[in-house]
């Protein structure tokens, strides 16, 4: 399997250089039976990267040259197998070192073999040494550790523990086709063990993740993959709204919440808006699989050029954010995000709130959502909006999940085995 290790190393290089992300991993040259292993390697390296980088520093006499970033990535792939996977040590060492030949760099075979053999031989001592640094031990960059400790002084360790775990696979049942209980029976018949989600009425969590094509009725639109926390948006927004209301789903891609709104209320007059044409295409494909429709608009939500002037009765703003609530699902966030990103994203969210508020009819409601745990993007953001917007009034969110956070409600990663999300519900009142 040396080829798949080489492919993983190649794929990781642009990510390590902060030029790409896990969502753009290229596995086109990998055989179908090896794609799962490659994904495990790439995601695993990102999840444990601070520790792996510290180990690599200890093992190397000097760093690899810039042109040999693929060899460095291959070393990380080998270390991840040795320290975090159940791959036999001889395979983790031999196959990884041998993959250097596939990269066209046979000289690196000896270097990798020596480093990985030492990593195996001195495993306890090396790990104890690098783990003296909090970033390596907790597998989060220092800036993020500091920020989480400041924002969540009592819960930050639980957040980090959740971030470092692999997430469950959670499904959303399309109740237009069958009930959740009925789908649980279908899963049981397919020998797939699962349990109903605690807070999401349409949610099911699988005991073990599977390929979507093995899910009963997936291609027929019976079910979709969506975390339980994300499934809370549709019922929050639709509560008290007429079944044929005119609704705007701003920043709608990739379309999970869009589809859930329509599954629950197929007669909605729903406008799905996004500034990314490629991602908007994914929304269209999702709705097509589920036999749902919405008016699709490719535009920047900060500009009102796309708007026909007719007010919406409800508005979902699934705002672009740091993604710090979904790190366990997207572990590359720990490497790709910077402290400066939080401020720039908060500024963007503020612009979106001010612009989109104009499109909301009097008496309508806006549901603000992020998959972040940063107060600047969540409670602080909404409190500032309420202060500068006289006709905005926060509505209480009464729920068994999460905790009060300013005028909204915060779910932290791992709580009830869900992702970290923030919700705030705001009503437009008459002055």
Catalytic residues: 371
- Residue 297's Cβ-side half-sphere holds a number of Cα atoms within 13 Å equal to 18
CB 296, CB 280: distance < 8 Å? yes
Distances (CA, A) of 425 to 151, 237, 322, 359: 22, 8, 20, 16
Tell me the C-alpha distance between 385 and 369, whole Å.
14
CB 243, CB 229: distance < 8 Å? no
Q: How many CB atoms lie within 10 A of CB 332?
A: 25
Among the listed residues 272, 264, 261, the one whose alpha carbon sits nearest the alpha carbon of residue 294: 272
Find the distance separating the first CA and the last CA of the chain, reported in whole Å. Answer: 67
Among the listed residues 326, 322, 421, 371, the one whose alpha carbon sits nearest the alpha carbon of residue 43: 326
83-108 burial code (b ≥16 CB/10 A, e <16) = bbeebeeeebbbbbbbbbebbebeeb
Count of positions (residues) in the chain: 431
CB 70, CB 99: distance < 8 Å? no
CB 68, CB 108: distance < 8 Å? yes
Please give the DSSP secondary-structure letter assigned to residue 133.
S
Please give the DSSP secondary-structure letter assigned to residue 223.
E
Residues sharing a CB contact under 8 Å with residue 310, sequence separation 6 or more, in sequence order: 246
Please give the DSSP secondary-structure letter assigned to residue 63.
P
Residues sharing a CB contact under 8 Å with residue 318, sequence separation 6 or more, in sequence order: 233, 249, 250, 251, 252, 257, 369, 370
| Bond before 139 cis per omega within 30 degrees | no
CB 409, CB 402: distance < 8 Å? yes
């Amino acid at each position: 399997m040396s080829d798949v290790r080489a492919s993983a190393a190649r794929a990781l290089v642009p990510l390590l250089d902060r030029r790409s992300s896990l969502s753009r991993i290229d596995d086109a040259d990998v055989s179908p039976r090896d794609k799962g292993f490659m994904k495990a390697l790439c995601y695993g390296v990102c999840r444990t990267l601070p520790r792996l980088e510290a180990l690599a520093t200890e093992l190397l006499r000097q760093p690899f040259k810039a042109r040999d970033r693929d060899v460095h990535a291959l070393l990380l792939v080998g270390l991840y197998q040795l320290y975090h996977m159940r791959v036999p040590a001889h395979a983790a060492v031999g196959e990884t070192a041998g993959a250097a030949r596939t990269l066209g760099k046979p000289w690196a075979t000896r270097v990798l073999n020596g480093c990985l053999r030492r990593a195996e031989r001195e495993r306890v001592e090396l790990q104890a040494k690098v783990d003296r640094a909090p970033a390596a031990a907790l597998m989060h960059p220092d800036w993020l550790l500091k920020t989480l400790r400041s924002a969540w002084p009592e819960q930050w360790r639980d957040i980090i523990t959740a971030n470092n775990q692999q997430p469950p696979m959670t499904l959303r049942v399309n109740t237009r086709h069958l009930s959740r209980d009925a789908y649980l029976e279908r899963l049981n018949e397919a020998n797939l063990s699962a349990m109903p989600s605690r807070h999401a009425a349409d949610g099911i969590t699988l005991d073990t993740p599977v390929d979507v094509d093995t899910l009963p009725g997936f291609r027929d639109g019976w079910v979709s993959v969506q975390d339980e926390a994300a499934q809370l948006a549709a019922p929050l927004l639709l509560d008290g709204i007429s079944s044929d209301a005119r609704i705007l789903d701003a920043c709608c891609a990739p379309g999970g919440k869009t589809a859930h709104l329509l599954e629950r209320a197929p007669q909605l007059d729903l406008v799905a808006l996004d500034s990314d044409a490629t991602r908007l295409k994914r929304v269209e494909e999702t709705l097509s699989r589920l036999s749902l429709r919405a008016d699709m608009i490719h535009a920047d939500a900060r500009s009102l050029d796309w708007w026909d002037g007719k007010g919406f009765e409800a508005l979902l703003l699934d705002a672009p954010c740091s993604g710090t609530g979904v790190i366990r699902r997207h572990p590359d966030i720990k490497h790709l995000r910077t402290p400066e990103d939080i401020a720039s994203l908060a500024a963007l969210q503020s612009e979106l709130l001010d612009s989109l508020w104009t499109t909301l009819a009097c008496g309508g409601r806006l549901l603000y959502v992020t998959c972040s745990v940063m107060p600047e993007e969540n409670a602080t953001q909404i409190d500032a909006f309420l202060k500068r917007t006289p006709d905005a009034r926060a509505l209480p969110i009464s729920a068994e999940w999460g905790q009060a956070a300013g005028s909204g409600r915060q779910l932290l990663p791992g709580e009830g085995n869900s992702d970290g999300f923030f919700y705030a519900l705001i009503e437009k009142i008459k002055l």
